[in-house]
Structure 1
Amino acid sequence: MSIQKISVIGLPMDLGQARRGVDMGPSAIRCAGIIERLERLNIEVEDLGDIMVGRPENANDPETNLKNLSLVAAGNTELAAKVDEIIESGSFPLVLGGDHSIAIGTLAGVAKHHGNVGVIWYDAHGDLNTEETSPSGNIHGMPLAVSMGLGHPDLINIHGAYPKVKPENIVIIGARSLDEGEKALIRDKGIKVYSMHEIDRMGMARVMEECIEYLRERTVGVHLSLDLDGVDPADAPGVGTPVIGGISYRESHLAMEMLAEADLITSAEFVEVNPILDERNKTAIVAVALMGSLFGEKLL
């Protein structure tokens, strides 16, 4: 790939959901050797450390169905400014989570620079709930809806009061667990989804070929948001919301390799690594290996 410099920033936040531990994800990914892995690819790497996140006094916002709304909004506001600054400096932002609610901040920062940004949402879930449709009130199930301008004003207005991404510029890959409200939104907005049915039937190579062609012709800049629960739990057990029957380790590598060859991705985040639920840091090691492929690592 043509990337010259990568700036790594962590947001160790577990407030977008109810299970503790995912706040240790950035540390686990660093322990698995992400900085050294990228440096071996002859890319300049800058580790900006982590954004500090407070702890809630009361998890439930008294006026909404949303858990930890003020702290999630604050963390994402800081992340959006940092991602904006990284892109402004000419570097590639690589964000380490944290739960998937941090995508709100990442996409808000990216959208300042890529007004017609494309999004690859590599995930078992759609993360398309709103306050009205969410069964749990967990904001980590809402970031894609928020980024389309659907949700609480404190979230959709972060770093600019406008939708950060158009629904026709989104491709969801690996979906196998969708709430009813999410299914309705996908149909209503015409969001492109490759569920596990399509991956099984078509094969990952064809899915990625179609995804790349689809986004290349209609977007400026493409953001990869990769939730480790998109990968099958046999390969990535350390996630908060595992769903069996997911994308294999090898299929995931192929997807990242094809994105590297396409030279399409302009920003990325890897989220939902939970070391407490993991086996000897296996999931963080998988995340680092996939990042290696995304940034051009080859066998020969």
Structure 2
Amino acid sequence: MIVRPRPNWFRLLLVVRGSVLPMILPQLLLTLAFALVVTLLHGRVYVWKVSLTFVPFSLIGLTLAIFLGFRNNTSYARYWEARVLWGEVLNDTRSLARQSLTLVDRDSNSTVFVHRLIAFVHALRHQLRGTDPNTDLARWLSKDDLSRLKGARYKASAILLMADEWLRDRRLAGQLVAPLAQAMQVHMGHLSDALGGCERIASTPIPFTYGVIIHRTVYLYCLLLPFGLVDSIGAMTPVVITFIAYTFFALEALSSEIEEPFGTEPNDLPLDAMSEGIETSLLELLGERNLPTAPQPKNYVLT
């Protein structure tokens, strides 16, 4: 995620880091070169004059803009839903940690429960990104818990079960009365819902064929457009074409980037920072004061 003060109007025109310009620069240069060739040849292919006007491009451009807007709205809806789900993870883990410290008897060793919640958060992040969680899990789980996770495909779900078992054991030991255990189960259910919601977003991309149609239409539109403008604007055709191509290519690239909000691209969610923030918050509830410093963005990017 890009974290930086908003530049003034002039510097905002020149910002590269965090924009999609590096991703689409090769396509822009190719489009510019093609538009230059079309302009120099004045729309001719050998001896054949390509007779096109701006009228069909106006109609197609309007339709294309609507579809690109819909694609961006769909991608941003996935991004925002993912952020809301991680906000629920923060709220529910805090509530559970607080309740384990205030509603359960003092000699119940709530630290084990809170550490399992922290391990759940890290396991969820690694599951969504497809990375190895073992290093983070070893910091918070006992050897017995780690041995139970060996071979587990969905470690976050397994850790959530372990946390639930801690509540069951406290209830059976008489350290947590049934009505209070039921209240805590509400938050456990919310964590399970957040886990399922994140898995749904990660495993269900926008239909591939929809992206293919938009991608092909954008490129064909930008490559044919010089033939429709060269007779009316002449030498300014490459400039206008490049500007239009930047708009369409950038919108398509942005929607593709935020479509998968759990990745590591500059505009994806900063799951590393969010996980460490939840970890620090829960440790603070346990009374620990030697807490890690908050993650800082590197070159304006917070991962």
TM-score of the aligned structures, taking structure 2 as reference length: 0.23
Q: Which has the higher strand share?
A: 1
Q: Which has the higher helix share?
A: 2
Greater relative contact order (CA < 8 Å, ≥ 6 in sequence): 2
TM-score of the aligned structures, taking structure 1 as reference length: 0.23
